[in-house]
Structure 1
Amino acid sequence: MRRRKFIQYAGLGGVGFLLVPHNRLLASALPESELRKDIRLDSFDFNVTTVDQFGQIKQTKKHTAKYFPASLNAAEQLEMVAIAPGRFAMGASPTESQAKRHEFPRHRVKLPAFFMSKTPITQSQWAVIAALPAVKQELDPAPSHFTGSDRPVESVSWLDAVEFCDRLSQYTGRQYQLPSEAQWEYACRSGTGTAFNTGATITSELAEYVGTYAYQAEATGNHRQSTMPVGRFSANAFGLYDMHGNVWEWCADSWHKSYRGAPKDDQAWVSQQHAQCRTIRGGSWLNAPAEIRSASRSGYLEKSLNRTIGFRVITTI
Structure 2
Amino acid sequence: MALRPLLRTGLAVVAISLAANFLARLYHKPSAPMPALATTRGGFVQLAEGLPTKIDSDELVRAGQERDDNVLGMIFCWCPPGAFSLGGGPRNPSGRYLDSNPVWVTLSRGFWMGKFEVTQADWQRVMGKTLAQQRAIDPGRPRPLGDGSKRPHAGEGPNYPIYFMNHDEAEEFCFRLTTTERAAGRLEVGWVYCLPTEAQWEFACRAGTTTATAFGNRLGSVQANFDGTEPFNNAPNGPYHHGVMPIGSYPANAWGLHDMHGNVWEWCRDHAKPQPMSGTHSFRGLTSSNRAFRGGCWYDKGPRCLSTARAVGTVQSCGSGLGFRVALVSTELWKEANSVPQVPLQRHVESQFEP
3-state DSSP of counterpart to 1:108: strand
- The answer for the alignment partner of 1:251 in structure 2 is 268
1:18 matched to 2:53? The reply is: yes
1:198 matched to 2:215? The reply is: yes
1:233 matched to 2:250? The reply is: yes
- The answer for the alignment partner of 1:299 in structure 2 is 312
Distance 1:310 1:242, change over 3 A: same
**What is the letter of the counterpart of residue 234 of structure 1?**
P
3-state DSSP of counterpart to 1:186: helix
Q: CA deviation at 1:68?
A: 1.1
- The answer for the alignment partner of 1:53 in structure 2 is none
Distance 1:128 1:108, change over 3 A: same
* Structure 2 CA distance for aligned equivalents of residues 197 and 98 of structure 1: 25
1:115-144, Cα deviation, whole Å (9 max, x unpaired): 01101001111111113xxxxxxxx44336
1:268 matched to 2:267? The reply is: no
- The answer for the alignment partner of 1:69 in structure 2 is 68
Q: Which runs of 5+ in 2 are unaligned?
A: 1-48, 136-152, 331-355
Q: CA deviation at 1:277?
A: 1.5
3-state DSSP of counterpart to 1:279: strand
The one of 199, 214, 227 equivalent to 2:231 is: 214
Q: What is the number of residues matched between the two proteins?
A: 252
- The answer for the alignment partner of 2:115 in structure 1 is 118
Distance 1:227 1:257, change over 3 A: same
Report the identity percentage.
30
- Judge conservation of contact 1:27–1:82 (CA < 8 Å) in 2: no
- Judge conservation of contact 2:77–2:256 (CA < 8 Å) in 1: yes
Alignment of 1:1-317 (within 5 A): 15-16=49-50, 17-20=52-55, 28-29=61-62, 65-72=64-71, 76-93=72-89, 95=91, 103-111=99-107, 112-131=109-128, 140-142=129-131, 143=134, 145=153, 146-173=155-182, 174=187, 175-259=192-276, 262-272=277-287, 275-317=288-330
Distance 1:93 1:302, change over 3 A: same
Over 6 Å off, 4+ runs: 96-100
**What is the letter of the counterpart of residue 219 of structure 2?**
I
3-state DSSP of counterpart to 1:127: helix
- Judge conservation of contact 2:89–2:98 (CA < 8 Å) in 1: no
With structure 2 as the length reference, what TM-score do the two structures score? 0.66
Distance 1:123 1:185, change over 3 A: same
Distance 1:94 1:223, change over 3 A: closer
* Structure 1 CA distance for aligned equivalents of residues 321 and 160 of structure 2: 12
* Structure 2 CA distance for aligned equivalents of residues 99 and 307 of structure 1: 33
Distance 1:97 1:271, change over 3 A: farther
3-state DSSP of counterpart to 1:71: coil
Distance 1:213 1:235, change over 3 A: same
**What is the letter of the counterpart of residue 284 of structure 2?**
W
1:214-262, Cα deviation, whole Å (9 max, x unpaired): 3212221110011000011110001100000000000011120123xx1
Q: CA deviation at 1:29?
A: 4.4
Distance 1:99 1:181, change over 3 A: farther
Q: CA deviation at 1:104?
A: 2.9
* Structure 1 CA distance for aligned equivalents of residues 171 and 94 of structure 2: 32
Q: CA deviation at 1:305?
A: 1.6
Distance 1:288 1:68, change over 3 A: same
* Structure 2 CA distance for aligned equivalents of residues 109 and 83 of structure 1: 15
- The answer for the alignment partner of 2:26 in structure 1 is none
- Judge conservation of contact 1:26–1:238 (CA < 8 Å) in 2: no
**What is the letter of the counterpart of residue 239 of structure 1?**
G
With structure 1 as the length reference, what TM-score do the two structures score? 0.74
Distance 1:295 1:180, change over 3 A: same
- Judge conservation of contact 1:253–1:269 (CA < 8 Å) in 2: yes
Greater helix proportion = 2
- Judge conservation of contact 1:77–1:125 (CA < 8 Å) in 2: no
Q: CA deviation at 1:271?
A: 5.0
- Judge conservation of contact 1:69–1:77 (CA < 8 Å) in 2: yes
3-state DSSP of counterpart to 1:268: coil
3-state DSSP of counterpart to 1:212: coil
